[in-house]
């Protein structure tokens, strides 16, 4: 992991691969931008690691390369999108744009989607509100069930993530992006890819024993945060992002790792609030700054160097990666080289870290 | 705890006490209804146990008995209420009514409040959407800080609860009501009142050691769910319910147990979604039923008798308490008798459990 790839090069590489796979150039560029952005902010479970799985689904005919993404239901402050089985990034970027426009008029807006697909990290879409000085919230049904109901053994729920992005003034925005499980399944896969063990508490096996080998993840399930609370959160997020939209939920969820052909009917939702409707935006952002600063200035527990805000480490990673380039794990880079050769596109060329 | 009090009697008792304390009859009836409802659904930390603390604040001039609760900002799908330091129940019932009306027109609505006060359990207000076949979500800034930022020692955050209520068809509605801490502080107080110990994991002291004696709760702080995730959730809920509305957050939060005079400037928010905007309501509710039933039918871990949905146990308690009356702890009942005598209103009269 010593060589670094400029973000712009990674973006072009992903875009070129997706074009080669058959996406229209504009759509390939949109997805390439968002996947590189995910990688740049450190969402390594949702970044370029997904390119090869996406390509398998595309080649198997499991995703629509030229979807007719359309609004099927609409009111002043809401819309329901039919994603026509297109890439989730395209569906949810559109959803965010509509929600931002409607929030500007109505103060708040909610846009749901069905027949979407995996769209990368939740925070990508919540963050789209920030450049409009708005608050973004994102909810999604995960694309594989790894969580049983509390007390149960049948994996009927996914990690159903939540993201909330709140603009600040001089401080970085507050961006919470969390699975409703202790760890996201993407993090389990990243551990497996790196040959690392998982901490106790991420997963248990069917007998309730800790499971720490990510290569054995099929034998167990993820643990919800706060026990029954996380189970409840995963369920209501799924009701909001899936069931409400007529998207898959519970046993309807397609495990996109095992089944690369069936339509996933992925459900997602975005809610945008315009703080301008509530008062002076500058005053709101100043209040956010004040809160951040007083939390950061708290007396610390022994051994704690710094108190971080939600999203602050991702923000720092994004700045560093945009400056220095992105370091990809060797195994992933090797896979991407093979993939590029196979597709007939130029390999990613790494550069030495800044001297 | 052998004698039971009919819910209607408890409601009348609370209403009479509040009238005697100076609330207009209609407002006293509204709060009495909601407080008895909280007790009936088993939210014992937020029910009639709060009557005496509320009365202390009222007598000290810390709450406005005749507030002019008004909309100070409004757009098609949002409103910001100024609660004029009235009882939180009055402010948030109004907020829920406005949100329901706006959601009917716009598909979704968000109503925030500032200058409100403690309003009881979060689910009370999220549930108000249910009788309109709508989805309700509620966010609040708690009325005392018991949670430091992750890695910190200064208690700058509260338990900031979330509630989500989703209507079902033949099944009870799904109602999640959770503090973003492992335990709500109201539960700590209920343990203290009952002379019980807390489980390990609810609180730690300033050295990070488990704190299990609820009478020593002042010496420690609550633990967030999922570690840094719960800290992040508490913060963003506070940003949405407090900071956005110009209500207290962080160090501005008044500890309403210690300070019964200062205006708390409590912030809360409610979001209502109308499923009718997304498609046929009957179909949506049937899909919710289907999900509930398949989660409930999951194979269970050894020793687990039943898989519960969020809110299902509260629903069962509500039905049982409406039928059999509410059993109050002896110590609480004794306090309420003294309180009634002092106020010059008839005591609660208990009846034997149904023969």
Summarised one tens digit per residue, pLDDT across range B265-288 is: 999 999 999 999 999 999 999 999
Subunit contact A239:B288, Cβ cutoff 8 A: yes
Q: Pick from A133, A85, A135: which is nearest to A113 by CA? A: A85
Amino acid A355: pLDDT: 34
Amino acid B275: pLDDT: 98
- Cβ-Cβ contacts under 8 Å, A290 against chain B: 250
Subunit contact B294:A152, Cβ cutoff 8 A: no
Subunit contact B307:A152, Cβ cutoff 8 A: yes
Locate the chain B residue with the closest alpha carbon to A303: B151
B67-181+224-281 matches B1-59+324-355 in CATH topology: no
Calculate the CA dihedral of residues B111, B109, B95, B169 and round it to 10 degrees: -140
Amino acid A216: pLDDT: 92
Query: Does residue A121 contact residue A177 with C-beta atoms inside 8 Å?
Result: yes
Give the mean pLDDT of B117-145.
Answer: 97
Q: Per-residue confidence at B351, pLDDT binned at 50, 70, 90?
A: low
With an 8 Å Cβ cutoff, is A108 touching chain B? yes
CA angle at residue A102 from A97 to A106, to 5 degrees?
155
Subunit contact B229:A232, Cβ cutoff 8 A: no
- What would the pLDDT profile of B239-254 be if each residue is shown by its tens digit? 999 999 999 999 999 9
- What would the pLDDT profile of B148-187 be if each residue is shown by its tens digit? 999 999 999 999 999 999 999 999 999 999 998 888 787 8
Q: Which residues of chain A have pLDDT under 70?
A: 1-2, 351-355
Which segments of A15-161 are extended strands (E)? Answer: 70-75, 78-82, 108-116, 135-140
The topology under which CATH files domain A1-59+324-355 is Hypothetical Oxidoreductase Yiak; Chain: A, domain 1 (1.10.1530)
Chosen from A287, A299, A311 to mutate, greatest number of chain B CBs within 10 A = A287
Q: Which residue has the higher pLDDT, A217 or B95?
A: B95
CATH of domain B67-181+224-281: 3.30.1370.60
pLDDT beyond 50 at B355: no
For residue B25 the two structure tokens come to 């009859």
Taking only residues 21 to 80 of chain B, the set having a beta carbon closer than 8 angstroms to any beta carbon of chain A reads: 73-78, 80
Locate the chain B residue with the closest alpha carbon to A167: B239
Give the mean pLDDT of B212-230.
Answer: 90
Amino acid A353: pLDDT: 42
**Can you say how many angstroms the Cα of residue B196 is from the centroid of all Cα atoms in its chain?**
22
Q: Per-residue confidence at B354, pLDDT binned at 50, 70, 90?
A: very low
Q: What is the DSSP letter of A51?
A: H
Query: Does residue B138 contact residue B144 with C-beta atoms inside 8 Å?
Result: no
Nearest beta carbon to residue A307 from set B152, B238, B294: B152
From the CA of B118, how many Å to the nearest CA of chain A?
21
Nearest beta carbon to residue A78 from set B106, B296, B301: B106
Locate the chain A residue with the closest alpha carbon to B235: A310
Cα(B182)–Cα(B185) distance, integer angstroms: 10
pLDDT beyond 80 at B222: yes
From the CA of B73, how many Å to the nearest CA of chain A?
6
- Cβ-Cβ contacts under 8 Å, B290 against chain A: 250
Subunit contact B300:A225, Cβ cutoff 8 A: no
| CA distances in angstroms from A13 to A20, A138, A140, A339, A342, listed in the order given | 11, 27, 27, 11, 14
With an 8 Å Cβ cutoff, is A166 touching chain B? yes
Locate the chain B residue with the closest alpha carbon to A205: B301
Subunit contact B107:A245, Cβ cutoff 8 A: no
Chosen from B158, B167, B226 to mutate, greatest number of chain A CBs within 10 A = B226
Taking only residues 88 to 107 of chain B, the set having a beta carbon closer than 8 angstroms to any beta carbon of chain A reads: 105-107
From the CA of A54, how many Å to the nearest CA of chain B?
28
Subunit contact A288:B135, Cβ cutoff 8 A: no
If residue B70 lies in a helix (H) or strand (E), which one and from where to where?
strand B70-75
Q: How many CB pairs under 8 A join A and B?
A: 245
Strands B108-116 and A220-222: unpaired
β-partners of residue A117 are none
Q: B17-26: buried (b, 16+ CB within 10 Å) or exposed (e) per residue? A: bbbebebeee
Give the mean pLDDT of B199-211.
Answer: 85
Q: Pick from B326, B158, B113, B179: which is nearest to B253 by CA? A: B158
From the CA of A250, how many Å to the nearest CA of chain B?
6
Cα(A146)–Cα(A194) distance, integer angstroms: 21
- Average pLDDT score over chain B: 94
pLDDT beyond 80 at B352: no
Chosen from B307, B312, B315 to mutate, greatest number of chain A CBs within 10 A = B307
Domain ranges of chain A: 1-59+324-355, 67-181+224-281
For residue B69 the two structure tokens come to 């609760």
Locate the chain A residue with the closest alpha carbon to B300: A152
For residue B326 the two structure tokens come to 């509410």
With an 8 Å Cβ cutoff, is B210 touching chain A? no
Residue A219 burial (10 A CB sphere; 0-12, 13-18, 19+): exposed
Subunit contact B294:A250, Cβ cutoff 8 A: yes
Cα(A138)–Cα(A253) distance, integer angstroms: 19
Q: In what order do the strands lie in the sheet with B203-205?
A: B210-211, B203-205, B220-222
């Amino acid at each position: 992991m010593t060589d670094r790839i400029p973000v712009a090069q990674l973006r072009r590489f992903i875009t070129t691969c997706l074009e080669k796979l058959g996406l229209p150039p504009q759509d390939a560029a949109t997805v390439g931008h968002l996947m590189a952005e995910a990688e740049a902010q450190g969402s390594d479970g949702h970044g370029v690691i997904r390119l090869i799985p996406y390509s398998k689904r595309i080649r198997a005919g499991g995703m629509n390369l030229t979807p007719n993404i359309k609004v099927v239901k609409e009111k002043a402050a809401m819309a329901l999108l039919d994603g026509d089985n297109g890439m989730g990034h395209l569906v949810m970027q559109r959803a965010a744009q509509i929600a931002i426009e409607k929030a500007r008029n109505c103060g708040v807006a909610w846009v749901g989607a069905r027949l979407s697909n995996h769209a990368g990290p939740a925070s990508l879409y919540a963050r789209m509100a920030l450049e409009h000085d708005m608050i973004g919230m994102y909810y999604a049904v995960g694309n594989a069930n790894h969580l049983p109901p509390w007390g149960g053994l049948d994996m009927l729920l996914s990690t159903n993530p939540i993201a909330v992005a709140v603009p600040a003034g001089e401080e970085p925005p507050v961006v919470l992006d969390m699975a409703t499980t202790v760890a996201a399944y993407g993090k389990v896969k990243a551990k497996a890819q790196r040959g690392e063990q998982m901490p106790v508490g991420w997963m248990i096996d069917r007998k309730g024993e800790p499971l720490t080998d990510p290569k054995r993840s099929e034998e167990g399930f993820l643990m919800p945060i706060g026990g029954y609370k996380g189970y409840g959160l995963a369920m209501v997020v799924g009701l909001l992002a899936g069931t409400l939209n007529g998207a898959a939920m519970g046993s309807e969820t397609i495990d996109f790792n095992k089944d690369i052909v069936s339509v996933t009917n992925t459900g997602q939702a975005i809610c945008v609030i315009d703080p301008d409707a509530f008062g002076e935006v500058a005053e709101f952002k100043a209040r956010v700054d004040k809160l951040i600063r007083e939390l950061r200035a708290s007396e610390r527990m022994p051994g704690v160097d710094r108190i971080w805000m939600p999203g602050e480490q991702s923000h720092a990673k994004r700045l560093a990666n945009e400056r220095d380039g992105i370091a990809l794990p060797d195994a992933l880079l090797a896979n991407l080289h093979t993939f590029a050769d196979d597709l007939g596109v130029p390999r990613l060329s790494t550069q030495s870290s800044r001297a």
